[in-house]
Amino acid sequence: MFVTDDTPPTPHALAEIKAGMFVAQDVRFTKEKMGSFISLSKDEARIHRDLDFANEQGYDDCIVHGLMLGMSFSRLLGMYLPGEISVIRNLKLEFRKPVLVGDKVTYRVEASKVVAAVGAVILKLSIERDGEVLVSGTSECVFPGVAPRA
């Protein structure tokens, strides 16, 4: 399922989630969004805010902060798949190639395994630009209201 900023939440009970289910969203990283993140995080490293410096380092534009990239996964995991009745237990990201200011990328969260015995779902994460994977990762979300099987 593709979502937009206006898509209402679609939480799932653990029993509803099947391997292969996915949610995706296109996101564009603007200078304004970067400014907001810098203001909040206080990470003012030059590679993120100084175009001349980024160019000197071999990039066409400033690099989007890695943790800023992770923020959209929070929304997708917490509101859509698995949704608001789950809690993120862990999240691991591998930054393969930089995302630059101005880039439009596609986030994807896909259920890869449901572990009903412990009330958890394992998910594959990716951020792609034009079909190329820039960031990959995994997450495990748990359902606190689901008692593990004895």
Percent of the chain with pLDDT over 90: 90
Instruction: Give pLDDT tens digits for 93-119.
Output: 999 999 999 999 999 999 999 999 899
Residue 11: pLDDT band with limits 50, 70, 90: confident
Contacts of 6 (CB under 8 A, 6+ apart): none
Residue written as token pair 């393969």: 96
User: Measuring CA to CA, how many Å separate 38 from each of 49, 53, 63?
Assistant: 9, 17, 12
Q: Is the pLDDT of residue 144 over 80?
A: yes
Q: Hey, what CATH class is 14-29+65-142 in? A: alpha beta
Q: Where are the alpha helices (DSSP H) in 80-121?
A: none
Query: Where along the chain do its domains lie?
Result: 14-29+65-142
> Across the chain, what does the average pLDDT equal?
94
pLDDT digits (tens, 9 = 90+) for 73-100: 999 999 999 999 999 999 999 999 999 9
CA distances (Å), 57 to each of 37, 68, 71, 90, in order? 22, 21, 25, 32
Q: Compute the distance between CA of residue 88 and CA of residue 110 in angstroms, rounded to an integer.
A: 14
Residue entry with tokens 């917490």: 78
Amino acid in the structure at residue 146: V
pLDDT higher than 80, residue 148: no
